[in-house]
Amino acid sequence: MRLRTETRAHAAQTVMIVKNVPLPTDNLLLAALPAAVRRRLTADRAPVNLTVSEPLSAAGERIRHVYFPIDSFISLITPARGRGQLEIGLVGSEGMLGVPLLLDVNVSPLRAMVQGAGRAWRVDPKTLRQELAANTAVRSTFNRYLYVFLAQLMQTATCTRFHLIEARLARWLLMTRDRAHSNQFRITHEFLALMLGVRRVGVTSAASALQRRQLIRYRRGDISILDVQGLERAACACYAIDKQIYARVLGRKRRPPDTVSPSGVHDLQ
Ligand SMILES: [Zn+2]
C-alpha cells in the first residue's frame, strides 16, 4: 500500500491528506479510450499537478482546459447570489471537468475549484471536440459519462431538498474519501457548511452525532473515518444510487470500438 502525506495551507482551511487507500494510477475515462485517441488527447504530455483551492473555471467563462483527475479531485460549485455558494458535485479519477464541451458548448455554467491536491491530465478543448466529431466510440464513452453526470446532479438536487444534514454529511464524507483515496482529511466546519449549503451550527451538530456513533473522529478540523460500512449505513441512499448508476453505465466491460453502432450509443442497461 502506498502512503503519502501532503500538507497544504490556504486561507480558511488547511487540508492534510494521509493517503491510506491505494492511489489510482490513471483516470478511468481516459483509460477506457483507444490508446491512439488517448495519446492525441494528452498530446503525450505528463499530467499536471493541481494544488488545493486552485480555481479551474469560473461560471460564465470560456473553458480553457479540460481536466481528467488521477489522484486529485475537484469541487463543482454554483454561486447562489446573496446566499453564498453550494457544492453540487465532486469529480475525481472517475470523471472529468469540462462536460459542456460534450454538448458543443465552450462556456462553464459552474465554478470549479481543486479540493484535493494531486495529478490530472490536462486536455485542450479543441482537441477533445475534434476527437468527439471524428470517432463514434469516443463519443459513446463520453455520452455515457454525460448520462452519469446528469443523473448524479439530479440525485444531488433531491438530496439537498429532502435529506437530513447528518445523512448528507455522511454521504459527502464518503464521496470525499472515494476521491481523496484516504480515510483521513482535514477540513473546517465553515468549509463543510459551505459545501453542504447549511449553517455552521447544523454541520457541528451532524458531525457530533456521527462521532457519538463512533463512525468518525473529528478533532479541530481533522476528520478520520473510523467505520466505512457504518458511515455507508448512516448516509442517505444517494451515495449508493450514485455508485450503482456509475457501475451500470460505465463500469461494465467495454465493447471493442469496431462493434459500436453508427450512432455511437450503446444500450444503457
Ligand atoms: Zn441524499
For residue 22, what pLDDT is reported? 66
Tell me the three cell numbers of residue 85. Answer: 455558494
Please give the backbone phi and psi of residue 179, each rounded to the nearest 5 degrees, phi first. -90, -30
* Full-model pTM: 0.81
For residue 160, what pLDDT is reported? 87
> For 4-251, CATH number?
2.60.120.10
pLDDT tens for residues 162-192? 999 999 999 999 999 988 888 988 777 777 8
Please give the backbone phi and psi of residue 254, each rounded to the nearest 5 degrees, phi first. -75, 145
Rounded-to-integer distance, Cα 105 and Cα 118, Å: 27
DSSP-assigned letter for residue 33: S
- Order of all β-strands in the sheet with 85-91: 55-57, 111-116, 73-79, 85-91
Rounded-to-integer distance, Cα 222 and Cα 13, Å: 11
Tell me the three cell numbers of residue 136. Answer: 463514434
How far, in Å, is the centroid of ligand 1 from the Cα of 194?
A: 17
Rounded-to-integer distance, Cα 181 and Cα 187, Å: 15
Measure CA of the first residue to CA of the last residue in the chain; give whole Å.
35
How far, in Å, is the centroid of ligand 1 from the Cα of 33?
A: 32
How far, in Å, is the centroid of ligand 1 from the Cα of 79?
A: 21
How far, in Å, is the centroid of ligand 1 from the Cα of 157?
A: 9
For residue 7, what pLDDT is reported? 36
How far, in Å, is the centroid of ligand 1 from the Cα of 162?
A: 7
Rounded-to-integer distance, Cα 177 and Cα 163, Å: 20
Task: State the CB neighbour count (10 A cutoff) for residue 206.
Answer: 22
For residue 108, what pLDDT is reported? 95
pLDDT tens for residues 62-84? 999 999 999 999 999 987 776 67
Helix axes 125-134, 136-162, angle to 10 degrees: 120
How far, in Å, is the centroid of ligand 1 from the Cα of 164?
A: 8
How far, in Å, is the centroid of ligand 1 from the Cα of 155?
A: 7
How far, in Å, is the centroid of ligand 1 from the Cα of 245?
A: 14
For residue 66, what pLDDT is reported? 97
How far, in Å, is the centroid of ligand 1 from the Cα of 198?
A: 14
- Ranges under pLDDT 70 in the chain: 1-23, 82-83, 252-269
For 14, the enclosing helix (H) or strand (E) is strand 13-19
pLDDT tens for residues 152-164? 999 999 998 899 9
Tell me the three cell numbers of residue 132. Answer: 468527439
How far, in Å, is the centroid of ligand 1 from the Cα of 175?
A: 12
